[in-house]
Structure 1
Amino acid sequence: MITYPSLKTPVKVGVAAPSAGLHIKQHFYLEQAIYRLQAKGYEVIVGNTCWTQYKAKSAPAKTRAEELNLMLTDDTIQLIFPPWGGELLIEILEYIDFEKIKPKWVLGYSDTSVLLLAMTLTKGIATAHGPNLIELRGEVSDSTTAMWEEVLFTNQGEEVMQYPSEKYQEYWQHDYETEYVFHLTEQTKWKTISNEPIYVKGRFLGGCIDVIRHLIGTPYGDVLQFQKKFINNEPIIWYFENCQMNVTDLRRSLLQMKLAGWFTNCNGILFGRSAANEPVDDYNIIDVYMELVEELNVPIAYDIDCGHMPPQLTFINGAYGEVRIYNSGSAVKQKFI
């Protein structure tokens, strides 16, 4: 069975940087985000790793792991919320004491999805793929981003609904400050490869393909064992987002997942919007999706709210899900069962 963490007010939040921290000139991003959480009644504990960044990481691997281990085993901390992702979270996995982890929410995306997926696959603890902490530093959050709270406050046995955003952000403008962090200008439309409505059910798993693909073949990426041990071999709905890969790199990664058994008993795949997906010769992203449909014989949707072109849904790894994509009325239901 999946273990779902629960939040009880007042909530104590641990902020650690298991991947990237912040350079001095970026500290105000985190300070603003912490202020916003505290104004909403959260108690916030900030680790030392958050304030440093050197050679593509916040601190040496063992230092990052030690800080994270303290938060993962602290009964008083209910939510661990990294400031953002990064590049080298995978360095710390061998130093994380997975056997001592206390069930608690971990929330984020990008490189953080390595930790999220590893925790769910190895321990059966639900984890939350959603906004990064510094993306909550604005005076106001759009309705899609703001759903992270409602999702994480959902109790075991309950369900929560999420819907497509109205608009999404085409590119980042960090120097353009408004009451919102994101600048949502483009019309959102979830699409299917078949151009037909789809309805799929299963257990959610996923993350940023650029980094979670490196769990394949490690003790932290055994999807088949997870299905057998924690979800009674129920089918999986995968959600993915591509941060930086061109289409041939993405294709290679998806094939590796297939060969490793990640798509065994898969009911569907959801791909988030991406500013990457660059064509190679005349080979483009739709070709990749269509080949995958043909090989796996499962419905595939794309341009959903997930990843580095915000806003994004909060997907719960391990949760039972139902996905409906229609011209009107698209929705994601998650049940904590």
Structure 2
Amino acid sequence: MLVPPRLSKGNVVAIATPSAPVVTPRRLARGVEALRGLGYDVRLGPLAAGGIRDATPEERADELNRFFRDPEVRCIVASLGGLTGNAVLEWLDYEALRADPKIIIGYSDITTILLAVYRRAGLVTFHGPTLLPELAEYPRMLPYTRDGFLRAAASARPLGPLAPAAEYTEELLFWDEADDRPRQLVPGTGWQWLHPGTGIGPLVGGNLETIGLLAGTSYLPDFTGATVFLETCATDIRVVERALTQLRMAGVFDRMAALLLGRSFRAGQDFETALRQQVREIAARYDVPAVAGLDIGHSDPMVTLPLGVRARVDAGAGVVEVLDAAVR
């Protein structure tokens, strides 16, 4: 695996929009200021800066490729997710990333790009915050999200043992209309271990519904020996069952080392219970350790997980530990 250089103060962080368009200029400005407040030079891509229209796949890929080929850009943060990130994959310059590895970070629909770059360029990528939902949080980024991002991208040391967030929020505020106060936080609920055992393997995963879009393509990575992590934005358990079935049929779970599940978002306790039961059954079928309730993906705050670095999962000790540094 290629490991990108760590993010240092003064580095250029580029904002790309490979999926949904940016329609909230005030929120965009706040996210840019948040990154500047961390000490980075921020460069907005033309799609984020140029208006609220939908761009073609070629235009969205061209924006990414400009950043891939720019030696000054050290980190690329997605502005937000969406539905059509997979359309850019065939146009991306993976060779440019092999020649000059960079930090690429996002989640949700950006999962397709993270997995494709990991597969085609052999580069560690980062499942973590995007600009508008997390970095632009009012009045500032949630500390757990901020610290996780910096530990993964700006420190050439392993993340080490992960810990659940002490508090979280599921409150929704309409951007640029109602997001002028902090969201209400409630005490965290911790993790729930679903199946015993121990396992070590590279972290590979992302949004459950999005991973399946790559099944049968040359962009889906090999999940052999992986610590598979999944999160979902679904609220219908039948959608989850369908997506899990697709991954099972694609062989994603066949030889995995462990299984991590993120906490669902605004789906209700009945959904969460059913979700965990389905994942418990998968873990039992393949006899791997599994844990639920991690702060991954559609969860505020969230941890940043680097794809391609090893994680150790020990159900008996209650430990999820990232063993390798994701940057150099």
Q: TM-score, normalised by structure 1?
A: 0.85
Q: Secondary structure at the match of 2:82?
A: coil
Question: What is the alpha-carbon distance in structure 2 between the residues aligned to residue 308 and residue 6 of structure 1?
Answer: 25
In the TM superposition, residue 322 of structure 1 has moved relative to its aligned partner by 2.1
CA deviation string 1:236-293 (max 9, x = no partner): 1011111125222222222222222222321111111113768999x93243123212
Q: Select which of 93, 100, 106 maps to 1:97.
A: 93
Question: What is the alpha-carbon distance in structure 2 between the residues aligned to residue 33 and residue 279 of structure 1?
Answer: 32
Q: Select which of 319, 334, 337 maps to 2:309.
A: 319
In the alignment of these two chains, the number of paired residues is 315
Q: Select which of 262, 266, 279 maps to 1:272.
A: 262
Q: Secondary structure at the match of 1:264?
A: coil
Q: Select which of 40, 45, 48 maps to 1:47.
A: 45
Answer yes or no: is the 8 Å Cα contact 1:164–1:330 preserved in 2: no
In the TM superposition, residue 324 of structure 1 has moved relative to its aligned partner by 4.8
Residue of structure 2 equivalent to 1:333 = 322
In the TM superposition, residue 129 of structure 1 has moved relative to its aligned partner by 0.7
Residue of structure 2 equivalent to 1:231 = none
| Gap change, CA 1:16 and 1:336, over 3 Å in 2 | same
Residue of structure 2 equivalent to 1:205 = 204
- Identity among equivalent positions (%) equals 26
Q: Secondary structure at the match of 1:81?
A: strand
Question: What is the alpha-carbon distance in structure 1 between the residues aligned to residue 111 and residue 209 of structure 2?
Answer: 10
Q: Which runs of 5+ in 1 are unaligned?
A: 228-234
Answer yes or no: is the 8 Å Cα contact 1:14–1:44 preserved in 2: yes
Residue of structure 2 equivalent to 1:240 = 230
Structure 1 segment 220-231 matched on structure 2, within 5 A: 220-223=219-222
In the TM superposition, residue 176 of structure 1 has moved relative to its aligned partner by 4.3
In the TM superposition, residue 332 of structure 1 has moved relative to its aligned partner by 3.3
Residue of structure 2 equivalent to 1:28 = 26
Question: What is the alpha-carbon distance in structure 2 between the residues aligned to residue 151 and residue 112 of structure 1?
Answer: 18
Letter in 2 for 1:129: H
Q: Select which of 177, 195, 209 maps to 2:180.
A: 177
Kindly indicate whether residue 154 of structure 2 is the aligned counterpart of residue 153 of structure 1.
yes
RMSD of aligned residue pairs (Cα, Å): 2.6
| Gap change, CA 1:287 and 1:320, over 3 Å in 2 | closer
Q: Which runs of 5+ in 2 are unaligned?
A: none
Question: What is the alpha-carbon distance in structure 2 between the residues aligned to residue 279 and residue 9 of structure 1?
Answer: 42
In the TM superposition, residue 136 of structure 1 has moved relative to its aligned partner by 1.7
Residue of structure 2 equivalent to 1:261 = 251
CA deviation string 1:86-108 (max 9, x = no partner): 11111111111222223100111
